[in-house]
């Protein structure tokens, strides 16, 4: 009877520990994703770089140079708020974040951000092929 009780207590302890760790991971992901998206979608490239992995940093630096060379601020509306709607941790080092960006002109955009754990930190993870802060249906001013 005591072995059964010990196994039950051990099982509950492992469950609670796992749940607690995952809750902490989601909190870290949410904070990093929110900071990254707020900076990137408001063209604050210098801040966005702090919440990105190396490949994403290189691409953000490229975007910043394009903005600098064009000599004009981006024409897109600034983000009023970011709402994280779902976080899915796929393994120990990868996650996806569903979010809604609410813009100052009362429009909104739903999208997904990939996150990657690098050196114990959750950071945005884009590839050049997959980089899009907006879904393709919402890009209207590329011409």
What is the percentage of the chain residues whose pLDDT exceeds 90? 43
Q: Could you give the CA distance from residue 69 to residue 137 in angstroms, rounded to a whole number?
A: 27
For 9-25, what is the mean pLDDT?
A: 60
* Strand 121-124 relative to strand 79-91, pairing: unpaired
CA distances from 16 to 13, 19, 20, 49, 137 (A): 5, 5, 6, 35, 42
What is the percentage of the chain residues whose pLDDT exceeds 70? 69
Whether the Cβ atoms of residue 37 and residue 113 lie closer than 8 Å to each other: yes
- In the chain, DSSP assigns E strands to 79-91, 94-103, 108-118, 121-124
For 3-14, what is the mean pLDDT?
A: 55
The pLDDT, as a whole number, for residue 125 is: 94
The reply to whether the predicted model has a pTM over 0.85 is no
Q: Of the CATH numbers 3.10.450.50, 3.40.50.150, 3.20.20.70, 3.30.428.10, which one belongs to the domain with range 2-129?
A: 3.10.450.50
What are the domain boundaries of the chain?
2-129
- Distance between alpha carbon 31 and the CA centroid of its chain, in Å? 8
The pLDDT, as a whole number, for residue 76 is: 60
Select the more confidently predicted residue: 40 or 68. 40
Q: Could you give the CA distance from residue 86 to residue 111 in angstroms, rounded to a whole number?
A: 11
Select the more confidently predicted residue: 133 or 118. 118
Rounded to 5 degrees, φ, ψ at 107 are -90, 170
């Amino acid at each position: 009877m005591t072995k059964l009780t010990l196994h039950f207590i051990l099982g509950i302890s492992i469950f609670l520990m796992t749940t607690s760790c995952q809750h902490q991971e989601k909190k870290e992901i949410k904070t990093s994703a929110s900071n990254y998206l707020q900076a990137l979608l408001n063209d604050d490239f210098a801040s966005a770089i702090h919440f990105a992995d190396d490949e994403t940093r290189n691409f953000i630096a490229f975007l910043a140079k394009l903005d600098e060379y064009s000599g004009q601020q981006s024409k897109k509306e600034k983000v009023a708020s970011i709402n994280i709607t779902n976080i899915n941790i796929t393994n120990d080092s990868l996650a996806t974040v569903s979010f809604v960006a609410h813009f100052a002109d009362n429009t909104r955009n739903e999208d997904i951000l990939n996150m990657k754990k690098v050196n114990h930190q959750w950071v945005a993870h884009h590839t050049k092929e997959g980089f899009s802060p907006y879904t393709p249906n919402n890009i209207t001013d590329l011409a």
